[in-house]
Amino acid sequence: MDEKVILVIGLTVLIVVSVNVILFFGFRDRSLPYQIELFRRAAQRARDPWQDEDDALEELSDLVSKLENRENLKDQDIPTQTKKADE
């Protein structure tokens, strides 16, 4: 049982160290403003993960309402037909 616990702890430490090394070498060559912007966008995305979808749905809603308004105006512009055949 102790060997399994040591193995799990060792693998966890290895994974954490590997991720940190990858992040270090990945950001080492980039400038500080780029890193700040990257983390700012990540924090904004974490606060509102569905922002892109919300924007797309809002645009779709606007387009549908415009289309409905056009159809309503088109229906109102059609003059009523009078029956001249009865005259």
At 3-27, the pLDDT tens digits run 999 999 999 999 999 999 888 887 7
Query: Is 55 within the bounds of a domain?
Result: yes
Tell me how crowded residue 74 is: count the other CB atoms within 10 A of its CB.
9
pTM of structure: 0.42
- Calculated CA dihedral for residues 35, 40, 42, 46, nearest 10 degrees: 160
- Give the integer Cα–Cα distance in Å for 24 and 27: 5
- Amino acid 23: pLDDT: 81
Domain range for 66: 31-76
23 and 39 share a domain? Answer: no
Please report where in the chains the tokens 């569905």 appear, as a residue.
Answer: 50
pLDDT above 90 for 57: yes
**Residues 38, 18 share a domain:** no
> Total structural domains in the chain?
2
Residues 49 and 60 occupy one common structural domain: yes
Residues 26 and 42 in one domain: no
36 with 65, same domain? yes
